[in-house]
Structure formats: C-alpha cells, structure tokens
Amino acid sequence: MAASLSAAFGLSGFSGPVGAALKQLDPKHIPRLIYLQGLSCSGCSVSLLQAESPSPLTMITDYSQLLFHGDLSAASGPRVMELLDSYVDGRAGEYFLALEGAIPEGMPEACMLGEHTLIRYLEKAARTMTGAVAIGSCATYGGIPAAEGNLTGAVSLPEFYRKRQLEPLMITIPGCSVHPDWVWHTISHIVRVGIPKLNKYGSPEIFFGRKVHDSCPRYHYFQEEILARHLGEEGCLFKVGCLGPEALADCPSRWWNGGQTWCVNANAPCVGCTAPIFARSKNFPFYRHSGTG
C-alpha cells in the first residue's frame, strides 16, 4: 500500500531508516489501492501531490500501485471501469479503498462512476476490500458537503457503513485539506508495523492524540487571559474564533506547506478542520467577532 500512495507523497520527508525500509518493500506483496472521490473539491488530492523529490510524476510512473484515481488515472472509459469492477467484485485480488469526499446518500446520482453510483461501489467494496481509509474531513465526518441545509443528504464513510450495519477495517484521517504526512506516515505504519493506535474517532493517535489548543505556542496567553479581540492583535485567538480547543491535530509541531507555516503562525485562528463539528452548523462560522466569542 505504501507504493500505492508513493505516487502522491514522496520519500524526502522521512527519516533515513523509514525511507530505506519503504524502498525495500516488495511491490508484489503491497496491497493495491483504489482511490474514489465523492462530494469534494479534490483539495486532499492536491495536498497529497505536494511531493518535491522525487517528483509526483516519478512516483506515479516508477513506484505506484495506484489502481484507480479519478484525477490521476491514465486509462479511461470502459477499460478503467472494467479494472475497477474486477477488484470491487472480488475477482482481481486484494486492495485497499481510499475515499476522499462525502457520500450523497440522499442524491445518489450526484456521484457517478461510469453508469453506476458511488454508493453502489462502496456497498460492494465493503465485502471485498482489505480495509478503507477515509481521507479528509469530508470522508471522515461529512465536512462542508454535509453542512446544515445541504440537498444531497451527504454522510461520511463511517456513517455510511454504520447505517448498513457493516464494519470494515477503517482508518479516518481528517483535515480540510488533509496534511500529506498524516496519510503517508499512516500508510508506512500499516505496511511495516500494522494498524496504528487509533483514537475514539478511528484516527491515528500519533497525529490526532492532542488538541491543537494544548500544544499551541499561544497557550500561555490563554493561561494569562490575554485574549486578542481583533485579527492581528497579540494574544490567544480564542475570542476571534479559534477552534483549537475542539480540534485534534499536531499542526503546532508539524506545520504546513513544507514546514513553512500554519494557521496560527500566520496570525489566523484555527478553524477546527479536523474536528467533527467543522462546517456543520449555519450558526457556527469559521471566524467570529469578539463580541460573540
């Protein structure tokens, strides 16, 4: 499976031992990956392609076990649909399923793969796949597509299977968009060690074991009750909408954009994109005025 996702990630960010171990993996024994997309902006796919060395093209052509991805697959039409069907029907061998985006349970025709709905493929895959990975907050919790008032009846992958009383092996990796390390390092753990320890939401504890608030470099401001009331001011950003107390993630230590920055470092509140409440209520904006905080 590591080789499957190496098309999107890159080995340059790993320690020497981890990178060396991944390079020694025998592709014949790595589960193949089918990457499906539901209601989403494809932001997670874009994030996962931010590999610098080797390039995404090199990873896709030289190391990939990626069987299907709506944006990246070179094949199209009947040929690729037959490939997809052969695995989902259980005729072609073992595979892992990755889903980016929410599932339009109330409007199945909103997400089609060829002549069939995404829902049909997910139902069949539950009985043939080795396991599933929900990539991003839309797949993990419903995200923006499942916001209050949506017309599609969008649900997350875990909720989709719970409603059908199905219990496949599943790992959830939230984020809007997801951080490449969260997915890539999870995959490496699966390949070399096994399923990582998961929190109550089914997410790897190593990345989602502490709240952003607890590790925030502005935590001392919170303790001293020095609270910013306008963006740009010094102090804890809670009063201007920071959702660090609600979000489980290691953003304060991992940073984003190749380790260049992250939300609070850019003087913006955490919007809680890894939290179940993210984008779900009309009355809970990403940013709020100090008078309502």
Calculate the alpha carbon distances from 64 to 7, 9, 72 in Å.
5, 11, 11
H or E stretch including 87?
Answer: helix 78-88
Is the model's pLDDT at 161 over the cut of 70? Answer: yes
- Distance CA(213)–CA(67), nearest Å, equals 39
DSSP string computed for 124-180:
HHTTT-SEEEEESHHHHH-TGGGSTT-SS-EE-HHHHHHHTT----EEEE--SS--H
Count of other CB atoms within 10 angstroms of residue 109: 10
pLDDT in tens, 190-227: 877 888 999 999 999 999 999 999 999 999 999 999 99
In the prediction, which pLDDT does 257 show?
Answer: 84
Structure token pair of residue 222: 């919170």
Domains 2-207 and 210-293 share a fold: no
Is the model's pLDDT at 29 over the cut of 80? Answer: no
pTM for the full model? 0.85
**Which listed CATH number (3.50.50.60, 4.10.480.10, 3.90.1150.10, 3.40.50.300) goes with 210-293?**
4.10.480.10
**Average of per-residue pLDDT across 217-242:** 91
In the prediction, which pLDDT does 250 show?
Answer: 96
Spatial CA neighbour of 21 closest among 186, 188, 196, 204: 188
Q: Where are the domains of the chain?
A: 2-207, 210-293
Contacts of residue 236, defined as CB under 8 A and 6 or more positions apart, other chains included, come to 216, 218, 219, 221, 222, 226, 227, 228, 242
Is the model's pLDDT at 268 over the cut of 70? Answer: yes
Is the model's pLDDT at 1 over the cut of 60? Answer: no
Contacts of residue 95, defined as CB under 8 A and 6 or more positions apart, other chains included, come to 31, 32, 33, 34, 67, 87, 128, 129, 130
Active-site residue set = 41, 44, 138, 176, 213, 216, 236, 242, 251, 263, 270, 273
- Distance CA(145)–CA(142), nearest Å, equals 6
For domain 2-207, the CATH class is alpha beta
Decide which of 93 and 154 is more confident.
154
Decide which of 215 and 75 is more confident.
215
In the prediction, which pLDDT does 71 show?
Answer: 85
